[in-house]
Amino acid sequence: MHIKRVIPIVFIIIALLYIIFSFTVEERKMIGDVRGWDPGSRAMPIGIGLIILAASIYLSFKEKKAPDQDKKPHDPGIRKLTILTILLCIFFILFFRFLGFIISTHIFLFSLIFLYYKRDIRQSLIPEFSIGLLTCTGVMITFYSIGRFISRYLFLLGRKSEIPVLKSKLATAGAPLVILVILFTVFLIILKNPIKRGKYRVPFIAGFSSIGITEFLYIVFKQIFLVSLVKGLVFW
List contacts with other proteins (CB under 8 A).
3-4, 6-7, 11, 17-18, 21, 25-26, 28-31, 33, 35-41, 43-45, 48-49, 51-52, 55-56, 58-59, 62, 75, 77-78, 81-82, 85-86, 89-90, 92-93, 96-97, 101, 105, 108-109, 112-113, 116-117, 119, 205, 209-210, 213, 217, 220-221, 225-230
Q: Are 108 and 175 in contact (CB under 8 A)?
A: no
215-221 — which CB contacts under 8 Å span 24+ positions? 215/143, 215/144, 215/147, 215/177, 215/180, 216/177, 217/105, 218/101, 218/102, 218/144, 218/147, 219/147, 219/173, 219/176, 219/177
41 C-beta neighbours (distance < 10 Å), count: 14
Radius of gyration, alpha carbons of the chain? 27
Shortest distance, position 77 Cβ to other proteins, whole Å: 7
Measured from the CB atom, the residue of 52 and 141 that comes closer to other proteins is 52
Measured from the CB atom, the residue of 108 and 129 that comes closer to other proteins is 108
Helices of type H across the chain? 3-24, 43-65, 76-99, 101-118, 126-161, 164-167, 169-190, 192-197, 201-217
Shortest distance, position 61 Cβ to other proteins, whole Å: 11
Shortest distance, position 97 Cβ to other proteins, whole Å: 6
Measured from the CB atom, the residue of 2 and 159 that comes closer to other proteins is 2
Measured from the CB atom, the residue of 48 and 157 that comes closer to other proteins is 48
Measured from the CB atom, the residue of 3 and 156 that comes closer to other proteins is 3
Measured from the CB atom, the residue of 31 and 134 that comes closer to other proteins is 31
Q: Are 70 and 178 in contact (CB under 8 A)?
A: no
Shortest distance, position 53 Cβ to other proteins, whole Å: 9
Residue 230: is it exposed, middle or buried by C-beta count within 10 angstroms (0-12/13-18/19+)?
middle
Amino acid at 226: L
Shortest distance, position 157 Cβ to other proteins, whole Å: 25
Shortest distance, position 15 Cβ to other proteins, whole Å: 9
Amino acid at 12: I
